[in-house]
Structure 1
Amino acid sequence: MTRPAAVVVDAHEISRPVELQHPDGTLDAAAVGWTRTPLHRTDRVGQVARRWGRAKRWEYWALITPTHVVGLTVSSLDYAGLTQVWVLDRASGEQADEVVVVPLARGTRLPGTYGAGPASARTARAAVRFTETPAGTRLRAATARVRLDVLVPLPAGHERLGVVVPWDDRTFQYTLKDVGRRVAGQLRVDGVTHELESGWATLDHGRGYWPRELAWNWGFGAGVVDGRTIGLQLGGRWTDGTGSTENALVVDGRLHKIREDLAWSWTPGRWTDPWHVRGDGADLTFTPFFDRVSLTDLRLVRSSTHQCFGTWTGWVLDENGGRQRVDGIEGSAEDVEQRW
Structure 2
Amino acid sequence: MVTHEPELTSPVELCLPDGRLNPAAVGWTRRPLHSAHLRGWGRAKRWEYWGIVTPDHIVGLVVSSLDYAGVHGLYVLDRATGRETSTDAVVPLARGSVLPPRSGAGEVAVRAGSLRVRIAQHADGTTIRATAPDVRLDVEVPLPPGHESLGVVVPWSAKRFQYTVKDVGRPVRGTLVLHGRTYKVGGPDAFAVLDHGRGKWPYAITWNWAAGAAPGRAIQLGGKWTDGTGVTENALVVDGRLHKIGEELRWSYDRSDWLRPWRISGERVDVTFTPFHEKVSRTNLGVVANETHQCFGHFTGWALTDDGTKTDLDGLVGWAEEARNRW
Task: Give the distance between the partners of 1:268 and 1:189, measured in 2 at CA.
Answer: 32
Partner of 2:101: 112
Q: What 5-or-longer segments of structure 2 have no aligned partner?
A: none
Q: Which one of the candidate residues 276, 286, 296 is aligned to 2:263? A: 276
Are the structure 2 counterparts of residues 133 and 38 from structure 1 closer, same or farther at C-alpha, using a change threshold of 3 Å? closer
Task: Give the distance between the partners of 1:287 and 1:129, measured in 2 at CA.
Answer: 33
Partner of 1:75: 64
Give the letter aligned to residue 63 of structure 1.
I
Give the letter aligned to residue 254 of structure 1.
R
Does residue 186 (structure 1) correspond to residue 180 (structure 2)? The answer is no
- On the 8 A contact 1:223/1:231 being kept in 2, the answer is yes
Deviation per residue, 1:106-144 (Å, 9 max, x gap)? 121000222331111111210111112454111111011
- On the 8 A contact 2:104/2:123 being kept in 1, the answer is no
TM-score normalized by the length of structure 2: 0.97
Paired positions, count = 325
Does residue 292 (structure 1) correspond to residue 279 (structure 2)? The answer is yes
Does residue 213 (structure 1) correspond to residue 229 (structure 2)? The answer is no
Task: Give the distance between the partners of 1:70 and 1:156, measured in 2 at CA.
Answer: 25
What percentage of residue pairs aligned between the two structures are identical? Answer: 54
Deviation per residue, 1:81-104 (Å, 9 max, x gap)? 011000011111111110000001
- On the 8 A contact 1:263/1:277 being kept in 2, the answer is yes
- On the 8 A contact 1:10/1:245 being kept in 2, the answer is no
Give the letter aligned to residue 25 of structure 2.
A
Deviation per residue, 1:151-188 (Å, 9 max, x gap)? 11110010010000000110000000000111111101
Partner of 2:127: 138
Partner of 2:17: 23
Task: Give the distance between the partners of 2:88 and 2:4, measured in 1 at CA.
Answer: 36
Task: Give the distance between the partners of 1:132 and 1:28, measured in 2 at CA.
Answer: 25
Partner of 1:41: 35
Task: Give the distance between the partners of 1:233 and 1:14, measured in 2 at CA.
Answer: 19
Task: Give the distance between the partners of 1:75 and 1:115, measured in 2 at CA.
Answer: 16
Deviation per residue, 1:52-101 (Å, 9 max, x gap)? 13100000000010000000000001111011000011111111110000
- On the 8 A contact 1:10/1:33 being kept in 2, the answer is no
- On the 8 A contact 1:120/1:128 being kept in 2, the answer is yes
TM-score normalized by the length of structure 1: 0.94
Task: Give the distance between the partners of 2:162 and 2:5, measured in 1 at CA.
Answer: 17
Task: Give the distance between the partners of 2:225 and 2:110, measured in 1 at CA.
Answer: 27
SS in 2 for 1:219: strand
SS in 2 for 1:108: coil
Does residue 124 (structure 1) correspond to residue 113 (structure 2)? The answer is yes
Q: What 5-or-longer segments of structure 1 have no aligned partner?
A: 1-5
Give the letter aligned to residue 314 of structure 1.
G
Deviation per residue, 1:235-294 (Å, 9 max, x gap)? 000000000000000000000001111100001121111000000111100000100000
